[in-house]
């Protein structure tokens, strides 16, 4: 697998929104994409929360902006990439067809603890989900997880003093998994 570089992020292009939809304002998306690339090389300081919470205006009246789904998928992937760049670890797959999530990838995934003062997902529940996901990827069968199952997954907040994972990291990973499972079921 090839890591995504800041230049890959800078060169990323998005399709236009479908007819009848405004889509995201291209100039705002492009400027934010540049900030993500700058963060990857230490020239900006976006957090995964900044990326997950960003809001873009609609494209100017009379213009179709960037396809919302493509941009949102890119932002989910950017969250994962940024966390792995910051921790100096190998990243997880992008979910692209040529870069499919494997059992080994799932077994290697490591989420960080929630930021100080914030709650996180119960690590035990997330671990159980990862086990089920690994089993799904290892055995194509009727009892495996579906994209709808993943989107419907909800973890409890970890009680104080117990292991917890950073919510935004886990949510970004779930989005990636749901997207891949959806593509493989078509």
137 shares a domain with 173 = yes
**Mean per-residue pLDDT of the chain:** 83
Please say which residue of 43, 62, 87 terminates a domain: 87
122 shares a domain with 64 = no
75 shares a domain with 14 = yes
Provide the domain limits for residue 135. 103-185
Kindly calculate the radius of gyration of the chain based on its CA atoms and give it in whole angstroms: 17
CA 72, chain centre distance (Å)? 9
Residue 97 lies in a domain: no
% of the chain at pLDDT higher than 70 = 85
- How many structural domains are present in the chain? 2
109 shares a domain with 60 = no
Residue 52 CA to residue 54 CA, distance in Å, equals 6
111 class by beta-carbon count within 10 Å (0-12 exposed, 13-18 middle, 19+ buried) = buried
155 shares a domain with 114 = yes
Which residues have a Cβ under 8 Å from the Cβ of 46 and sit 6 or more positions away? 35, 36, 39, 82
Residue 127 CA to residue 132 CA, distance in Å, equals 9
Please write the tens of the pLDDT for every residue from 12-47.
999 999 988 889 999 999 999 999 999 888 888 888
Distances (CA, A) of 58 to 62, 64, 65, 118, 181: 11, 9, 7, 32, 29
pLDDT of residue 112: 82
165 shares a domain with 116 = yes
% of the chain at pLDDT higher than 90 = 35
Shortest CA distance to 96 belongs to which of 166, 4, 171, 5?
A: 4
Residue 50 lies in a domain: yes
If you average pLDDT over residues 96-124, what whole number do you get? 79
Residue 73 lies in a domain: yes
Task: Please report where in the chains the tokens 């990838």 appear, as a residue.
Answer: 105
124 shares a domain with 80 = no
47 shares a domain with 14 = yes
If you average pLDDT over residues 159-181, what whole number do you get? 87
118 shares a domain with 75 = no
């Amino acid at each position: 697998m090839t890591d995504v570089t800041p230049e890959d992020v800078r060169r990323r292009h998005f399709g236009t929104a479908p007819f009848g939809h405004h889509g995201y304002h291209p100039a705002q998306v492009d400027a934010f994409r540049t900030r993500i690339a700058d963060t990857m090389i230490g020239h900006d300081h976006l957090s995964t929360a900044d990326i997950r919470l960003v809001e873009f205006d609609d494209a100017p009246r009379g213009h179709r902006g960037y396809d919302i789904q493509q941009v949102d998928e890119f932002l989910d992937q950017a969250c994962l990439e940024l966390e792995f760049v910051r921790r100096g670890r190998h990243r997880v797959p992008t979910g692209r067809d040529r870069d499919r999530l494997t059992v080994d990838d799932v077994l290697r995934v490591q989420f960080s603890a929630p930021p100080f003062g914030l709650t996180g997902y119960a690590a035990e529940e997330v671990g159980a989900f990862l086990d089920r996901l690994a089993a799904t990827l290892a055995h194509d069968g009727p009892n495996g997880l579906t994209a709808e199952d993943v989107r419907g997954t909800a973890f409890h907040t970890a009680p104080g003093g117990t292991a917890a994972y950073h919510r935004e990291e886990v949510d970004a990973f779930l989005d990636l998994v749901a997207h891949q499972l959806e593509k493989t079921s078509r």
